[in-house]
Structure 1
Amino acid sequence: MTPADTSVQTDRFVHDRLPPRAAWPQQPHDTPELQALPRQVNLVAALFERARAAGHADRPFLRSDARTLTYAQAHDEVQRLAAALVRAHGLVPGQRVLLRGGNSVAMALAWLAVVHAGLVAVATMPLLRAQELGAIIDKARPALLLCDAALVAELEPVRGALPLVRFNTTDTDGMEALAARQVLRAKPCPTSGDDVALLAFTSGTTGTPKAAVHTHREVLAACECWPRHVLRATPDDVVMGSPPLAFTFGLGGLLIFPMWAGCSVYFPAIGYTPEAMVKLMIEQGATICYTAPTFYRQMAPFARTLGVGRLRISVSAGEGLPDATRQLWKEASGLEMLDGIGATEMFHIFISSPPESVRRGAVGQVVPGYRARIVDEQGHELPDGQVGRLAVIGPTGCRYLDDARQGQYVQHGWNFPGDAFVRDADGYFFYQARTDDMIITAGYNVAGPEVEATLLQHPAVAECGVVGRPDEERGQIVLAFVVLHPGHAGDAALVKALQDHVKHTLAPYKYPREVVFTDRLPRTGTGKLQRFALRQLAVARTLPETPKATP
């Protein structure tokens, strides 16, 4: 970030709680597009100006069943809303605003208005409860809460004296009414590119969420990497998907990147189900879809029956994509999945390949603008073909807000997302596991996701999660938590069938010595499997629900 005298963010709370500069990652700008990024820039103003300059002002931008806003109309609302919020609550640049809501036109406008005003957006998952929201409030210290009227209940016990403005409401004191009464349009705050645009709280797959800090210039830099070189969206694209705007996968895919490309985005009135996603995809003429592998797997039967309309790109991220799911979706839709790995700490995807360059089983190659390598525990680069830790640098990188875990994520200037990978001679990266998901049993290394991908090939298995359980004799044993498709009985015969299936597909030592059937798996609000929770269950020998069978 730039020195304090170039910043307009007069509230220094976030700036003062960043890690020491020696703990920051390297952030090279290796491409011409990245080198051309301005030092003085407001993210939201730059995106709207890009749309205007490209002639997109009158093209549809934000769409729902109730209304459609062009780029010009959305820009007008954002300016009036920013002026209303700042004026009504005396906010100054750098203060945090907590946003709580599902994906909607109003949530998108609120996020854009906050960042337009030089404030720091702190978007939260709509499924969070009061205790979790309270922890975020304690960490981020917001000056204002913006909340969907339908989701206020969980905020009330923890908001204290913080002012709260509701949106998606016709109330006279709601956000929509405030903006409608506002005559003045706020000019964009003249932020430095290195001023803070958002705090992104991690999803909790590894325990207590952390707050990752991202600047105006970093998010613009992300637009010049994966969207430019891999996604390659056009102004004629219609985007839809399930990841929340509070998740950087959703924020990029369903708001920032469409703005950069001049696309339109469709937000449904209610949440998606797999069947509804496919039907709406057809009805709305969607051409790009974002969701997680589990959802694609559940959508496949409906895509096979109904088709996928105009869909041309299906993006999978958020968790590892099993090849069984990729092939199932390809067979059902005719589309090659666009896979990718990213991280909240890195804002978005940094390893991915376009559909025409997919290599089966691989996540992809390094996205232009980033560098990646595979290293051992000491940080030494490993030759191709060897499993090691993934290390990444690029124009985005990890800086946690006031968190000692910075030193775990950033080492020697490189970001360590916590994944084990193999790279081949052609530069394709093959996901193995989270580094803390590697199971060591009787001296053998077993990657839990590899066993999961194999179990998912069995017709009885709907979902599964594989972890190691402590064992006195073997150190750990492989334990599989399995959710079955309807019509299958979780009995001893099926346990043996699943074990034999893995033995016949993978090295025999990788088979799950224990199989536990359950009705659900613990997931975050973004749909990621919470492996740390499964490990706790494995140790405690308990389940989230009464098991159908516990052999």
Structure 2
Amino acid sequence: MYPPAIATEHPDSLAFVMAASGSSLTYRQLDEQSNQLAHLLRSRGVTAGDSIVLVMENRIEWPVVVAAGMRAGLYVTPVNWHLGAAELAALLAEATPAAVVTSGSLAGAVADALPGGHTALTLCTDPAPGVEHLAAAIANHPRTPIADERFGARVLYSGGTTGRPKAFRQKLLDIHPADAPTRHAGLALKLGIDSDTVLLSPAPNYHAAPFTFQLMTMAAGGTVVCMERFDASAAMTAIAAHGVTHSQWVPTMLLRILALPDRSAIALSPTHTTAVTSGAPCPVEVKEQINAWWGPVLHEYYGASEGYGHTYISAAESADHPGSVGRPLGGTRVHVTDDAGTPLPTGEIGKVWFEPPAAAAYVNAGDTATSAGWKSMGDRGYLDEDGFLYLAGRESFMIISGGVNIYPEEIEAALVRHPDVVDAAVFGIPDPEFGEQVKAMVELREGVPGDATTAADLIDYCRGCLATFKAPRSIDFVDRLPRLPTGKLNKKALRSHYFANS
């Protein structure tokens, strides 16, 4: 995303709009303000190869900071602003940023989390005591490009299996931003992302998919409509109010939208022709219900912050391959192997590997790869005869009960199909006889009693559509399941109580 490429021809076109407040940036403003920030960074000793960390909520300043970092050859590092003090401190210690941009509500936490003795230029989007105000700091700097523009790189963090920050750093290419290769060109083409695109981005900006889809849209000269925070009703309102053409979701958001009361009274916008779900496999029934309501518009995209590869499936293909996350994009290949690395035949569940094209391959910190360059994100799944990938679950959450592998996602999908269930989480808890047993936690629709009768009914329902050994042994009911801001279930938090008391 290089703002001058759009600003030269369409300076007054909207680049970024906040859905609720209406605050906006044109491509001219984005170009000028990102240049000013790049000049400020250089004047403070921030050079190509340094890191700039973003610790802030979804705000209008977000694309300015990202564009400045991408024009100044920096490692652009968005982080989860919900992190606790110790988690943020560990991440900043790993990142060693030369600059940090934060908000007024988070400035104190950032100051406390910076490693002792480490000096970083800290800028705040709001006037705050003891911290430089971003707008004031860049005001007197040139609106033209810095002399040494270089293309930056994205860094994303994952907690991994240890909870410690794990960085996935793209390569820094020693090229001018105008010469940067187009990322995800194949996906953008399939989704029809172009200068007429108006993308609704309802998720936290620091997550991989929103970050990617926003950059894709702005690289094409389209408009990003960014929600300050997700709300199902507000999202439907924003689609109509802003003339949204494309939207990007995680499955739990679609569940919340489907749970809206009196859906028949919600006017659908004729401009909204393409929706994308990512972040976690989307249950078949959710896709079917969305497509029945919105029309056949829901596509699915599977990938991860590691960036090893991606798959895609269209709304039409989903009808013929229900439950699949698609086929690989570009020159990437997908393999499924047993635990010893031996390729498995069609239909057999094993470990999913991406084999990126040699020209596109790069190494991330902490990569696990075979000698052939295959890379895995820890997912289990299988391929069908047409090469479509189906995910069975994460290795880290697979339940082993009596020596049998059980995949929670399959059971969660079954529970969500029940008309009384809004959301469900399934995981293994200690069992003295079988090692682990299947536990479910369920969020019920309003008015449904969370009692023993309902639990028994749901267990019987699962036994009717799954193998008996996969059905939950017990079900607990909660008002709201703990999901991360990205929409993923926080299963570590759910399991910790049961393991602590085992």
The alignment's TM-score, normalised by the length of structure 1, stands at: 0.81
Match of 1:368 in 2: 330
Does residue 202 (structure 1) correspond to residue 158 (structure 2)? The answer is yes
Report the CA distance between 1:466 and its aligned residue.
0.8
Match of 1:72 in 2: 28
**Structure-2 change in CA distance of 1:153 and 1:460 (3 Å):** farther
Does residue 515 (structure 1) correspond to residue 475 (structure 2)? The answer is yes
In 2, the alpha carbon distance for the partners of 1:499 and 1:109 equals 51
In 1, the alpha carbon distance for the partners of 2:38 and 2:208 equals 22
Does residue 312 (structure 1) correspond to residue 267 (structure 2)? The answer is no
1:501-512 mapped onto 2 (5 Å cutoff): 501-512=461-472
In 2, the alpha carbon distance for the partners of 1:126 and 1:406 equals 25
Instruction: Kindly provide the amino acid, as one letter, of the partner of residue 78 in structure 2.
Output: A
Q: CA RMSD in A?
A: 2.6
Contact 1:297–1:329 (CA<8 Å) still a contact in 2? no
Unaligned runs of 5+ in 1: 1-43, 543-551
1:165-314 mapped onto 2 (5 Å cutoff): 165-169=123-127, 173-183=132-142, 185-187=144-146, 189-191=148-150, 197-202=153-158, 207-215=163-171, 220-228=181-189, 230-254=190-214, 256-268=215-227, 270-302=228-260, 304-309=264-269, 310-314=271-275
**Structure-2 change in CA distance of 1:329 and 1:153 (3 Å):** farther
In 2, the alpha carbon distance for the partners of 1:99 and 1:225 equals 28
Does residue 379 (structure 1) correspond to residue 335 (structure 2)? The answer is no
In 1, the alpha carbon distance for the partners of 2:479 and 2:280 equals 20
Match of 1:29 in 2: none
In 2, the alpha carbon distance for the partners of 1:266 and 1:141 equals 32
Does residue 84 (structure 1) correspond to residue 40 (structure 2)? The answer is yes
Match of 2:177 in 1: none
Report the CA distance between 1:317 and its aligned residue.
0.8
Contact 1:410–1:416 (CA<8 Å) still a contact in 2? no
Report the CA distance between 1:365 and its aligned residue.
1.2
In 2, the alpha carbon distance for the partners of 1:210 and 1:136 equals 8
In 2, the alpha carbon distance for the partners of 1:91 and 1:410 equals 37
In 2, the alpha carbon distance for the partners of 1:197 and 1:532 equals 30
- Number of aligned residue pairs: give it: 484
Match of 1:62 in 2: 16
In 2, the alpha carbon distance for the partners of 1:463 and 1:323 equals 14
In 2, the alpha carbon distance for the partners of 1:296 and 1:500 equals 26
Report the CA distance between 1:429 and its aligned residue.
1.0
Match of 1:31 in 2: none
1:469-508 mapped onto 2 (5 Å cutoff): 469-508=429-468
Instruction: Kindly provide the amino acid, as one letter, of the partner of residue 351 in structure 2.
Output: R
Report the CA distance between 1:170 and its aligned residue.
9.6
CA offsets, 1:268-320, max 9 Å, x none?
Answer: 4x322111111111111111111210111111244543133121111111112
Instruction: Kindly provide the amino acid, as one letter, of the partner of residue 289 in structure 2.
Output: L
Match of 1:142 among 97, 100, 105: 97
Q: Secondary structure at the match of 2:382?
A: strand
**Structure-2 change in CA distance of 1:183 and 1:368 (3 Å):** closer
In 1, the alpha carbon distance for the partners of 2:42 and 2:127 equals 20
In 2, the alpha carbon distance for the partners of 1:521 and 1:165 equals 35
In 2, the alpha carbon distance for the partners of 1:505 and 1:431 equals 18
Match of 2:373 in 1: 413
- Say which structure, 1 or 2, has more relative contact order (CA 8 Å, 6+ apart): 1
Match of 1:15 in 2: none
Instruction: Kindly provide the amino acid, as one letter, of the partner of residue 381 in structure 1.
Output: P
Does residue 151 (structure 1) correspond to residue 112 (structure 2)? The answer is no
Match of 2:303 in 1: 342
Report the CA distance between 1:141 and its aligned residue.
0.7
Does residue 321 (structure 1) correspond to residue 282 (structure 2)? The answer is yes
Which stretch has the larger CA shift, 62-71 or 213-222?
213-222
Does residue 452 (structure 1) correspond to residue 412 (structure 2)? The answer is yes
Report the CA distance between 1:58 and its aligned residue.
4.0
In 2, the alpha carbon distance for the partners of 1:287 and 1:445 equals 42
Match of 1:464 in 2: 424
In 1, the alpha carbon distance for the partners of 2:307 and 2:423 equals 28
Contact 1:100–1:151 (CA<8 Å) still a contact in 2? yes
Report the CA distance between 1:211 and its aligned residue.
0.6
Report the CA distance between 1:240 and its aligned residue.
1.2
Report the CA distance between 1:343 and its aligned residue.
0.6
**Structure-2 change in CA distance of 1:101 and 1:410 (3 Å):** farther
**Structure-2 change in CA distance of 1:391 and 1:329 (3 Å):** same
**Structure-2 change in CA distance of 1:289 and 1:204 (3 Å):** farther
In 2, the alpha carbon distance for the partners of 1:344 and 1:137 equals 18
Contact 1:362–1:429 (CA<8 Å) still a contact in 2? yes
In 2, the alpha carbon distance for the partners of 1:183 and 1:166 equals 20
In 1, the alpha carbon distance for the partners of 2:147 and 2:355 equals 30
In 2, the alpha carbon distance for the partners of 1:141 and 1:239 equals 33
Match of 2:314 among 346, 354, 379: 354
Does residue 105 (structure 1) correspond to residue 65 (structure 2)? The answer is no
In 1, the alpha carbon distance for the partners of 2:218 and 2:16 equals 10
Contact 2:7–2:31 (CA<8 Å) still a contact in 1? no
The alignment's TM-score, normalised by the length of structure 2, stands at: 0.89
In 2, the alpha carbon distance for the partners of 1:204 and 1:246 equals 17
Match of 1:32 in 2: none
Contact 1:397–1:415 (CA<8 Å) still a contact in 2? no
In 1, the alpha carbon distance for the partners of 2:10 and 2:384 equals 42
Report the CA distance between 1:364 and its aligned residue.
1.0
Which stretch has the larger CA shift, 72-81 or 179-188?
179-188
Identity of aligned residues (%): 26
Unaligned runs of 5+ in 2: 175-179
In 1, the alpha carbon distance for the partners of 2:4 and 2:384 equals 41
